[in-house]
Copies of this chain bind each other. A is one copy, B any other.
Amino acid sequence: MKILGIEHIGLAVNAIKNDAPFWKHIMNIPHRNTELVDDQGVITDIYDTGKGKVELLEPTAKNTTVGKFLDKRGPGVHHVCFEVDDINNAIRELKESNIHIISDEPSIGAEGYKVVFIHPKSTGGVLVELAQKT
């Protein structure tokens, strides 16, 4: 597979309104947009360095992936996303190598990207997202 770069890091937060000021005013990273990703049960607040984004992820309910993560681990890095040129090809290669992917088909993530997640047990402890720009 061809990795084009780190697309973003996803940070689990309890409340965007409390965490946004650090990224916006201290780190001074330009705000790009705020978006509800209903499928994943999160509101994403996106900051773009121009070379990799920071996405703050606030769960819409306790019983969501990010809600459960916050309960178990507290706020912090939830996943790291890499941009790929061809996500279907990436999925095929991962399956051939017996890598544990969370879904066999890409879903639609923030900003309309086609995305798939690789389970932390296949990566050495980090939830890895692959994303193809559409």
List residues of A whose CB falls within 8 A of some B CB. 1-6, 9, 11-13, 18-19, 22, 26-29, 49-52, 56, 74-77, 80, 82-83, 93-94, 97, 99, 120, 122-126, 128
Query: Judging by beta carbons under 8 Å apart, are B28 and A2 in contact?
Result: yes
CA distance A77 to B75 in the complex (A): 13
Given contacts A3-B49, A4-B49, 18 further A-B contacts (CB under 8 A): A1-B28, A3-B29, A4-B50, A6-B49, A9-B80, A13-B124, A19-B124, A22-B123, A22-B124, A26-B93, A49-B82, A51-B51, A51-B52, A52-B52, A75-B124, A75-B125, A76-B124, A77-B125
CA distance A50 to B51 in the complex (A): 10
Query: Judging by beta carbons under 8 Å apart, are A3 and B19 in contact?
Result: no
Partner of A50, one of B5, B122, B125: B5
